[in-house]
């Protein structure tokens, strides 16, 4: 057997090896005391004198080469073995990490909505929860003794006859407009209070988000455009919208905005009361009387305002049927968000 075919045979043998034990067999076969290379070395004296030198060198070179190949293969097999060991780990075991907490769903909705308006260029402003009767009503063109106030049942405070718990976030309109001149682009999130009997859809405390834009040349069409952008960002691009005339003392024209029911896609279901539509917010062009109260010239400036209940939006978005869950703070509820 010549040197070259032996080398080919060795390489062929090595390829098939996939374990350290198998490699040892190969080593014994070639490099062992009675191995093939020992045999070749042993055959040297039988060769003609002039060939002995060259053949000896070739056998030595093969020996070195083989040692190298074996070492290399051993290295590969050892790594492979340790990989096998890692694969013995049961990946079904629990992962190791500390649990994160959860942000309250109401905060998440408020942040999501505020972020949409911040991207449009609005600023966030907040106001106090204890308000004056003026900011909550009179400044917003809500007469003191009129049925339009029935919609704003209000908690009053003992010993503070002019103060109340704000029944909506709109008083911040009055505050912001008295504090600065147009242009204004403001969004107001916050807690509001109404003495409503508690049931699955009513509570005495809830959250609202108010928004308003005041400048020269702000139009009802702008209100429609902004609200569509907003509603599609929150509820998805494929919703339909409708704008129904309505009445609010602080806006004229006023509108209530419905979206096609996100549960039944407008077919009519229990959530939308078979109507196919869900009311999500009230809005309108800021009433000239409100501008008069804050000292803006209504012939120069126009503006729109809108307001929505955060709990209602969260209930629709997450499919929550009882508003009280938000304030029970059961961890099994909170951890779902």
Asked if residue 23 binds other proteins (CB under 8 A), the reply is no
Cβ 214 to other proteins shortest distance, Å: 10
Window 130-169: residues binding other proteins (CB under 8 A): 130, 145-148, 150-151, 155-160, 163, 165
Considering beta carbons, is residue 147 or 295 the nearer one to other proteins? 147
User: Please, what is the minimum distance in Å from the beta carbon of residue 55 to other proteins?
Assistant: 57
Answer for which of 12, 45, 92, 94 binds other proteins (CB under 8 A) is: 94
For residue 248, the SS3 value is strand
Site for other proteins in 288-307 (CB under 8 A): 288-289, 302
* Contact call for residues 66 and 31 (beta carbons, < 8 A): yes
Q: Smaller CB distance to other proteins: residue 37 or 286?
A: 286
Size of the site for other proteins (CB under 8 A): 86
- Residue 178 found at the interface with other proteins (CB under 8 A): no
Rg (CA), the chain: 40
Letters for 256-295 (x = contact with other proteins by CB under 8 A, - = none) are x----------------------------x-xxx------
Phi first, then psi: what are they for 309, rounded to 5°? -90, 125
Q: Is 48 in the site for other proteins (CB under 8 A)?
A: no
Instruction: Check binding of 185 to other proteins (CB under 8 A).
Output: yes
Residue 100 sits in the site that holds other proteins (CB under 8 A): yes
Collapsed DSSP state (helix, strand, coil) of residue 12: helix
113 binds other proteins (CB under 8 A): no
254: helix, strand or coil:
strand
Distance (Å, rounded) from C-alpha 272 to C-alpha 99?
A: 37
Tell me the closest approach of the beta carbon of residue 144 to other proteins, in angstroms: 8
- Binder of other proteins out of 124, 264, 269, 294 (CB under 8 A): 124
b/e 172-206 (16+ beta carbons within 10 angstroms → b): bbbbbbeeeebebbbbbbbebbbeeeeeeeebeeb
DSSP-assigned states of every residue in 85-123: HHHTS-TTSPP--PPP----HHHHHHHHHHHHHHHHT-E
How many CB atoms sit inside 10 A of residue 115's CB? 13
Q: What DSSP element (H or E) covers 325? A: helix 325-328
Regarding 120 and contact with other proteins (CB under 8 A), the answer is yes
Which position among 41, 58, 107, 233 is part of the footprint of other proteins (CB under 8 A)?
A: 107
Residue ranges in 190-249 that form contacts with other proteins under rule CB under 8 A = 191, 193, 195-197, 204-205, 213, 215, 217-222, 224-226, 228-229, 242-247, 249
* Contact between residue 329 and residue 337 where contact means Cβ atoms under 8 Å apart: no
């Amino acid at each position: 057997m010549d040197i070259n075919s032996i080398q080919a045979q060795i390489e062929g043998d090595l390829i098939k090896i996939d374990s350290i034990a198998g490699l040892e067999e190969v080593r014994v076969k070639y490099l062992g005391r009675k191995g093939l290379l020992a045999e070749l070395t042993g055959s040297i004296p039988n060769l003609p004198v002039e060939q002995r030198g060259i053949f000896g060198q070739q056998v030595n070179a093969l020996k070195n080469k083989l040692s190298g190949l074996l070492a290399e293969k051993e290295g590969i097999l050892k790594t492979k073995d340790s990989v096998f060991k890692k694969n013995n780990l049961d990946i079904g075991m629990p992962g190791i990490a500390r649990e994160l907490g959860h942000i309250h769903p109401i905060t998440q909705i408020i942040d999501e909505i505020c972020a949409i308006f911040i991207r449009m260029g609005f600023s966030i402003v907040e106001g106090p929860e204890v308000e004056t009767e003026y900011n909550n009503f009179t400044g917003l063109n809500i007469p003191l003794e009129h049925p339009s106030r029935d919609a704003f049942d209000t908690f009053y405070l003992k010993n503070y006859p002019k103060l109340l718990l704000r029944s909506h976030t709109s008083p911040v309109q009055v505050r912001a407009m008295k504090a600065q001149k147009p242009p204004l682009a403001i969004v107001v999130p916050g807690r509001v209070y109404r003495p409503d009997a508690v049931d699955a859809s009513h509570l005495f405390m809830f959250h609202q988000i108010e928004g308003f834009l005041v400048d020269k040349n702000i139009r009802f069409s702008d209100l429609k455009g902004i609200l569509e952008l907003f509603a599609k960002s929150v509820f998805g691009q494929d919703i339909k919208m409708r704008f129904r005339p309505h009445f609010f003392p602080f806006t004229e024209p006023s509108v209530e905005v419905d979206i096609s029911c996100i549960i039944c896609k407008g077919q009519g279901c229990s959530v939308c009361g078979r109507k196919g539509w869900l009311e999500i917010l009230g809005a309108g062009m800021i009433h000239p009387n409100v501008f008069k109260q804050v000292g803006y010239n209504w012939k120069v400036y126009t503006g729109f305002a809108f307001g929505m209940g955060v709990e209602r939006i969260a209930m629709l978005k997450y499919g929550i049927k009882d508003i009280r869950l938000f304030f029970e703070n059961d961890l099994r509820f909170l951890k779902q968000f």
